[in-house]
């Protein structure tokens, strides 16, 4: 069988979970990757209210949907980010933002991610996807000149903050999958390698593979799968396109998504440059058998058109791995 296809609910958090579940069922998806915002999966309620977790399963079961992962991108971002500012206030619950003191925000975010592991375990899900934030992303431009020790301190800060969190993941039997992404401690090939090394490649920490973020950086997502395949714990189907016409730059000029002047943008799967069939073949070759989760983002397309179209793309391109070599039929029967 081909892999189950799910929809990540992060971009649909304005809809109640039941309304979204009904849509997704009608389109033919196999399940949902539940975001820990909106009313889709609320970690504080999951750990404090009897019956809350069952209420999530009741909705999923009603529409014959499965769940293989939950996602805490917004809170995870705030564990290790620097600086902490009004951007973070805009994505956090007030109970985690508190008085806005940066270190207090980071500490409360870390506790929330630990609780997310506990909630996931109780929910019966083995993977939590998310971000980590980064102490050193803001020095990417390299000017003023960045002392090498500053970079080393950034990876050490990541390890110091995330190892205690990963201890809880180990305790409850859940794994954390970082979405390799600009603004994170790992955003491309080499920073992913360095990030894994920073936590001694402990099994609790792996990758939520999303080819769209690699493609616009001109990093080969297929080569990435072959290099890091044994650490891919979850996979997103998200698409990007490069619009480098001599005026548009790869840094996107502080322009919003959807603006034609951007050097790259997110588009509905199948409408950009990610070589999805090659990606799916590579995932087969490294033994990934988890879900393919559509993360739909396209500011110039209606999502009710894009999400079912994306499902059909995945269905048409995902391949069931062969259990026999085609040229085996040529062998002599003698």
Residue 314 belongs to a domain with what CATH number? 3.20.20.150
pLDDT of residue 326: 67
Q: How many angstroms separate the CA atoms of 212 and 192, rounded?
A: 15
At residue 122, the 3 state secondary structure works out as helix
Domain span holding position 217: 5-321
- Domain annotation covers residue 291: yes
Confidence of residue 322 (pLDDT cuts 50, 70, 90): low
The pLDDT value recorded for residue 277 is: 97
How many domains does one find in the chain? 1
Angle at 169 between CA 91 and CA 75, to 5 degrees: 5
User: 253 lies in a domain?
Assistant: yes
Query: Is the Cα torsion angle 71, 34, 299, 210 positive or negative in sign?
Result: positive
42 and 52 Cβ atoms separated by less than 8 Å: yes
Rounded to the nearest 5 degrees, what angle is found at the Cα of 30, between the Cα atoms of 22 and 9? 60
Say if 111 falls within a structural domain: yes
CA 332/CA 204 separation, integer angstroms: 47
The share of the chain scoring above pLDDT 70, in percent, equals: 96
pLDDT exceeds 80 at position 323 = no
Please report the DSSP string for 173-216 in residue order. Answer: T-EEEEE--TTSS--SHHHHHHHHHHTTT-TTEEEEE-HHHHHT
Q: Is the pLDDT of residue 324 over 80?
A: no
Whether 330 is in a domain gets the answer no
Whether 333 maps to a domain, the answer reads no
Q: What is the pLDDT of residue 268?
A: 98
């Amino acid at each position: 069988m081909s892999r189950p296809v799910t929809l990540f609910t992060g971009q649909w958090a304005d809809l109640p979970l039941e309304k979204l579940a009904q849509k997704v069922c009608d389109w033919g998806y196999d399940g949902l990757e539940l975001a820990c915002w909106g009313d889709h999966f609320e970690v504080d309620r999951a750990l404090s209210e009897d019956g809350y977790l069952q209420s999530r399963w009741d909705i999923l079961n009603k529409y014959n949907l499965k769940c293989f992962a939950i996602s805490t991108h917004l809170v995870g971002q705030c564990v290790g980010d620097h600086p902490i500012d009004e951007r973070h206030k805009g994505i956090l619950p007030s109970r985690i933002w508190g008085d806005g003191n940066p270190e207090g925000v980071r500490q409360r975010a870390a506790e929330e991610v630990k609780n997310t592991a506990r909630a996931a375990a109780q929910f019966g899900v083995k993977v939590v996807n998310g971000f980590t934030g980064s102490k050193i992303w803001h020095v990417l431009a390299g000017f003023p000149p960045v002392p090498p020790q500053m970079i080393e301190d950034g990876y050490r800060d990541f390890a110091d903050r995330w190892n205690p969190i990963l201890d809880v993941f180990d305790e409850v039997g859940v794994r954390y999958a970082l979405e390799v992404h600009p603004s994170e401690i790992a955003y491309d090939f080499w920073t992913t390698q360095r990030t894994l090394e920073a936590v001694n490649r402990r099994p609790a920490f792996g990758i939520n593979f999303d080819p769209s973020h690699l493609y616009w950086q001109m990093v080969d997502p297929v080569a990435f799968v072959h290099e890091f395949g044994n650490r891919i714990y979850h996979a997103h189907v998200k698409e990007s396109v490069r619009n480098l016409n001599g005026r548009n730059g790869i840094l996107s000029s502080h322009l919003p998504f959807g603006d034609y002047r951007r050097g790259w943008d997110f588009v509905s799967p199948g409408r950009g440059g990610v070589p999805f069939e090659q990606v799916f073949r590579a995932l087969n070759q490294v033994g990934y058998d988890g879900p393919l989760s559509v993360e739909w983002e396209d500011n110039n397309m209606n999502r009710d058109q894009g999400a079912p179209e994306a499902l059909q793309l995945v269905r048409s391109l995902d391949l069931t791995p062969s259990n026999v070599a085609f040229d085996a039929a040529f062998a002599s029967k003698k």
